[in-house]
Amino acid sequence: MRVEIWSDIMCPFCYIGKRRFEAALSAFEFSDKVSVEWHSFQLDPDIQHGHGKSLYAYLSERKGISLEQSVDMHRHVTEMAKEAGLDYHFDKAVVANSFDAHRLIQLAKTAGKGDEAEERLFHAYFTEGKDVSDHKVLAELGKGIGLTGEQVNVALNDDEYAYKVRQDIDEAAQLGIRGVPFFIFNRKYAVSGAQPEETFLQALRQSFADWEKDNRFQIVSAGGAACTPDGKCD
């Protein structure tokens, strides 16, 4: 069974949602039969590099709220993150365009390291305060999950991976996804946002039951001549 997750590196609730989903998956009885695929999404594709604004100031302007309200809002999110076992440092966050970080994720997916890339980029942005639009930073992060610097540099300058990012974003629009994180279970059920662990567990169980039913053979005729591994043929 497949679970697809649309997410943006700059989304604090995406990292929290990732942790809650992981907790649910760990508690799920058939977790070994679940594959997870990450998809790209950009909350603000128009961010320009080098504007020098703090995250508090950036969101204050973008949302039309006061700087004090922005700080209070982020303080609340930091507390939510702590409950999920995460350590956010918004005061160190570098507001950056996430497009190239998504290129790195797309490259990592080809090597079966999509989840590792998401985790490393989330931690780099929210905890370490790294600039996830800087190609040198992305090359180091890529090497940290087993990719080579050459592979990362090619991906960051190759239209193929840019196309994959845009393809994910376009598909999100076609599916009506307006915010992230957004979880789709076997293309039948969806969970929007960083919901509680129990919600994810219920979605896993319900979608798995349907998936198992749909993928079980219905024998229409039995008893014909056949051979078995123990050497019997009749």
Instruction: Identify whether 54 is part of a domain.
Output: no
Angle between helices 114-126 and 135-144 (to 10 degrees): 130
155 closest CA partner among 131, 125, 135:
135
Residues of the domain holding 25:
2-47+97-123+131-214
Strand partners, 233: 227
pLDDT tens digits in sequence order for the chain, 234 residues long: 999 999 999 999 999 999 999 999 999 999 999 999 999 999 999 998 767 789 999 999 999 999 999 999 999 999 999 999 999 999 999 999 999 999 999 999 999 999 999 999 999 999 999 999 999 999 999 999 999 999 999 999 989 999 999 999 999 999 999 999 999 999 999 999 999 999 999 999 999 999 988 876 555 555 666 666 666 666
CATH no. for residue 139? 3.40.30.10
Q: Which residue has the tokens 């999509």?
A: 114
- 78 in a structural domain: no
Count of domains for the chain: 1
Find out whether 74 and 126 touch, Cβ atoms under 8 Å.
Answer: no
Kindly tell me the sign of the dihedral angle through the C-alpha atoms of 171, 173, 175, 177: positive
**221 lies in some domain:** no
**Rounded Cα distance, 98 and 41, in Å:** 9
83 part of a folded domain: no
Provide the token pair at 64: 């039309």
Does the residue 168 lie in any domain?
yes
pLDDT value at residue 228: 62
Domain annotation covers residue 71: no
Residue 25 falls inside a structural domain: yes
Question: Residue 49 to residues 72, 133, 227: CA-CA distances in angstroms?
Answer: 26, 8, 67
Residue with tokens 């039951």: 209
Question: Which residues partner with 6 through β-bridges?
Answer: 39, 182
Residue 10 lies in a domain: yes
Question: What would you report as the CA-atom Rg of the chain, rounded to the nearest whole angstrom?
Answer: 21
Place of tokens 């749909």: 214
